[in-house]
Amino acid sequence: MFALVADPVGGGFVQSLAKPGGNATGFTLFEYSISGKWLQLLKEIAPRTTRVAFLRDHASPSGIGQFAALQSAASLIGVEVSPANVRDADEIERNVGAFARGSNGGLIVTTTSVAIVHRELIIELAARHKLPTIYWDRFYVADGGLISYGADTIDQCRRAAEYIDRILNGEKPGDLPVQAATKYQLSINLKTAKTLDLEVPPTLLARADEVIE
């Protein structure tokens, strides 16, 4: 049983989402299409943004899939997107610094272990270079990030417990389909928005699950 996994198929946990097979099943953290939602929200909170760097782990299947979905969304919104690999702290600082030399830039931070370990550095770089940034989880916003949108991880763990109960009562994990998140959270840090000279639209504030002042 797993939860909070970005790409169960690419990671080799299951054969497919509908028919996992084997001895594992669980819950995905999000679908690739969420990267388009990240871009829409970033553009909504920072409308002057015309260029976006997508911080990802290029060795991760989820990083590749999310960027492909992002490219499709970007073509409709009219934003230029480019990947920025994040294998370590030096690469993060180097790539973000290079991207920040251009104007009207913003960042999307995806779910990678490197981005989690170095979240303080990423948040500091976004502030230093005045780059509006959207993250995949609220803990970035609690630490000073601008905005986040992602699955409600507590809800996923509750749902995972229901699957565990079914397995303990005789059902086979391989027969239980992998499920996507059904509840998402939008968090906004108004203090960070102010330092970036951003006026958060009232319609966006009204949709937020958490507003940090």
Instruction: Give the model confidence (pLDDT) of 114-157 as tens digits.
Output: 899 999 999 999 999 999 999 999 999 999 999 999 999 888 88
The residue among 29 and 183 whose pLDDT is bigger is 183
Q: What is the rounded distance in angstroms from the CA atom of residue 152 to the CA atom of residue 59?
A: 26
User: Three-state DSSP class for 139?
Assistant: helix
The residue-averaged pLDDT of 104-111 equals 94
Q: What is the rounded distance in angstroms from the CA atom of residue 26 to the CA atom of residue 95?
A: 35
Q: What is the pLDDT of residues 39-86, one digit of tens each?
A: 999 999 999 999 999 998 777 666 677 787 888 889 888 899 999 988
Q: Which residue has the tokens 């319609």?
A: 203
Write down the domain spans for the chain. 2-28+152-175, 34-151+184-212
Task: Please state which CATH number belongs to domain 34-151+184-212.
Answer: 3.40.50.2300
Q: What is the pLDDT of residue 33?
A: 81
Q: What is the pLDDT of residues 178-197, one digit of tens each?
A: 998 889 999 999 999 999 99
Which of 182, 178, 179, 199 has its CA nearest to residue 21? 178
Strands 147-151 and 184-189: antiparallel
Q: What is the pLDDT of residue 63?
A: 66
Q: What is the pLDDT of residue 134?
A: 98
DSSP structure class, residue 130: T
What mean pLDDT value characterizes the chain? 91
